[in-house]
Amino acid sequence: MATTISIRDIAAHVGEVVTVRGWVYDRTDKGKLQFIQVRDGSGIVQCVAYGPGMDPAQFEAAGRLTQESSLIITGTVKENPKAKKSLPVGYEIDAQTVEVVQMAVDYPITPKEHGVEFLMDNRHLWLRSQRQWAIMRIRATITRALTDWLDDHGYLRVDTPIITPAAGEETTTLFEIDYHGDPAFLAQTGQLYNEANMMAFGKVYAFSPSFRAEKSKTRRHLQEFWHLEPEAAFLSLEGVMEVEEGMISYAVERLLDKHRQELEIIERDISKVENIKAPFARISYDDAIKRLGELREKTDDPEQKELLKIEWGEDFGSPHETALAESFDRPVFVYHYPTAVKAFYMQPVEGRPEVCRSVDLLAPEGYGEICGGSERIHDAALIEQRVSTIGIPREAYAWYLDLRKYGSVPHGGFGLGLERVVTWLCGLPHVRESVPYARMLSRNYP
Ligand code: 4AD
């Protein structure tokens, strides 16, 4: 009996008769020879079917195999440096038997170029392509590395609810649902619950989907994204930056260690990823405004001059974030934003309440904000006053206000948008390819 293997383990089976089970990725007909590229989800292997050496009916069926037909092939594993399409490269199988499980009919995604909307309509099938295979593997490794870093640094994963009675961020992006006759919302963040959990466990993180009814179509915004949110007691703004820097540089190391092949498949400029090393740059909002002014002065491009216009007190748009991060050539922390453009829970800077102890991490190459965090208000009276400005009845926040009554402590945390990080590290043109099924303003299918 031949052993059934995963293609990724093929190197350990040279000279053996093995069985692989999967789908036809591609096929080349050379008369008496059929070259069938078979993928099984773990890799791709070139299988060579030679007519005179095989059962005639099976060879005839092999010659009719269409893209994405499912099949089971048994044969001998050989090394062949010319098997460049195999993954891992350099192996092939001399087929003895080819059993067709199902012949696929008119698979819509052919090797020709397709438009993005067509591919997104067929996302359930597009995921089978090599490029998407590479991106999803990278996504899994980044997720694992980020959470490993937190686990290794004493953070406990404590899950937070998705259906909530209160808003965690701006009320303009809430998805409202009917909770048995009462209004409720899909969570925009796990933060408020993280703050309760932090008081119970010291250092915690939540990792779950967050929902934002974003009305704008951009290449960075999803309606549903995976949010990784650490929170810790006594964590200062500087501490928040250190955690972000530590986690992200560790994830980059793991990515480079494990996925050079995938980065090549997606044609990522690997040197850009290799450049991502701690320490990241740090600049205050005040200085960032000055720097933007200088960049505006320097440019001769009238359009860029217009785009970079900004007054103190305004939030950055993507041209500002892009220009700032480019001028550092690595991720940059911008801290102490104006209080008025940030969320209700952010601690004001002592003696300067018009700015707050907030920090955004901006990625280079135009990818913009990937993390947002802050020190939180821990004073009971101040948080009470801020909650009264949200526009949602106080009762929904009574439990949150309790946290400032029973042993309140300075604390801080942040949220990292997984898709933003994957999009950046993979160098993708749009966030839609960084998640298996993107939920966007005009897309909720498949
Ligand atoms: O800056 P945000 O809104 O911060 C919060 O939600 C905090 N409560 C997090 C915390 O401190 N625990 O979001 C954090 C990150 C952003 O930096 C971005 O990476 C991502 O979440 N994000 C989105 N990603 C994709 N699509 C969207 N619509 C996103 N909105 C935010």
Q: pLDDT per residue over 361-380, tens digit each?
A: 999 999 999 999 999 999 99
Q: Which two tokens stand for residue 271?
A: 């040197």
The residue whose CA is least distant from atom 31 of ligand 1 is 417
Token pair 């009305």 in the structure block, residue: 215
Residue with tokens 């280079």: 364
Check residue 404 and give its pLDDT: 98
Q: Stretch 175-194: mean pLDDT, rounded?
A: 97
- Mean pLDDT over 388-412 rounds to 96
Cβ 197 under 6 angstroms from ligand 1: no
Q: Is the CB of 368 under 6 A from ligand 1?
A: no
CA–CA distance, 25 with 18 (Å, rounded to integer): 19
Please tell me the distance between residue 416's alpha carbon and the centre of ligand 1 in angstroms: 6
357 lines ligand 1 (CB under 6 A): no
Residue nearest to atom 1 of ligand 1 (CA): 372
207/190 Cα distance (integer angstroms): 8
Contact between 35 and 83 under an 8 Å Cβ cutoff? The reply is: no
Q: Ligand 1 centre and the CA of 221: distance in Å?
A: 10
Decide whether any atom of ligand 1 lies within 6 Å of the 168 Cβ. Answer: yes
Distance of CA 229 from the midpoint of ligand 1 (Å): 9
What is the pLDDT, as a whole number, of residue 263? 98
Q: Closest ligand 1 atom to the C-alpha of 222?
A: 26
Amino acid identity at 401: L
Residue 7's pLDDT is what?
98
CB 181 within 8 A of CB 191: no
Q: What percent of the chain has pLDDT over 70?
A: 100
Question: Is 419 close to ligand 1, i.e. is its CB under 6 Å away?
Answer: yes
Phi, psi of 201 (to 5 degrees): -125, 5
Ligand 1 centroid from CA 415, angstroms = 6
Contact 339, 353 (CB under 8 A): yes
Which of 41-55, 138-152, 319-333, 380-394 is predicted least confidently?
319-333
Please give the structure tokens belonging to residue 76. 């001998």
Could you tell me if the CB of 414 is within 6 A of ligand 1? yes
The answer to whether residue 329 scores a pLDDT higher than 90 is no
CA of 40 relative to ligand 1 center, distance in Å? 35
pLDDT in tens, 100-149: 999 999 999 998 899 999 999 999 999 999 999 999 999 999 999 999 99
Atom of ligand 1 nearest to the CA of 173: 28
Ligand 1 site-directed mutation target among 162, 172, 174, 189, most atoms within 8 Å of CB: 189
Q: Does the Cβ of 221 fall within 6 Å of ligand 1? A: yes
The verdict on the CB of residue 369 being under 6 Å from ligand 1 is: yes
**Model pLDDT, residue 112:** 87
User: What confidence tier does 200 reach under pLDDT thresholds 50, 70, 90?
Assistant: very high
Closest residue CA from atom 5 of ligand 1: 415
**Residue to substitute in 210, 318, 370, 411 for testing ligand 1 pocket (most ligand atoms within 8 angstroms of CB):** 210
pLDDT at 307 over 90: yes
Pocket test for ligand 1, best of 416, 419, 420, 440 (most atoms within 8 A of CB): 420
Q: Which of 223, 227, 345, 347 to mutate to test the pocket of ligand 1 (most atoms within 8 A of CB)?
A: 227
Q: Residue of the nearest CA to atom 20 in ligand 1?
A: 417
- Residue 292, pLDDT > 80, answer yes
| CB contact set of 356 (below 8 Å; sequence gap of 6+) | 336, 337, 338, 339, 342, 346, 347, 348, 349, 374
* Mean local confidence (pLDDT), 213-233: 96
Q: Is the CB of 375 under 6 A from ligand 1?
A: no
The mean predicted confidence, pLDDT, of the chain is 97
d(CA 374, CA 243): 12
Residue 69 CB–ligand 1 contact under 6 Å: no
Bond from prior residue into 319 cis (ω within 30 degrees of 0): no
Distance 369 CA to ligand 1 centre (A): 9
Count of all residues that appear for the chain in the document:
446
231-272 per-position pLDDT tens digit: 999 999 999 999 999 999 999 999 999 999 999 999 999 999
- Give the pairing of strands 203-211 and 224-233: antiparallel
- Residue 328's pLDDT band (boundaries 50, 70, 90)? confident
CA distances from residue 345 to 169, 384, 393, 415 in whole angstroms, order as listed: 9, 10, 16, 14
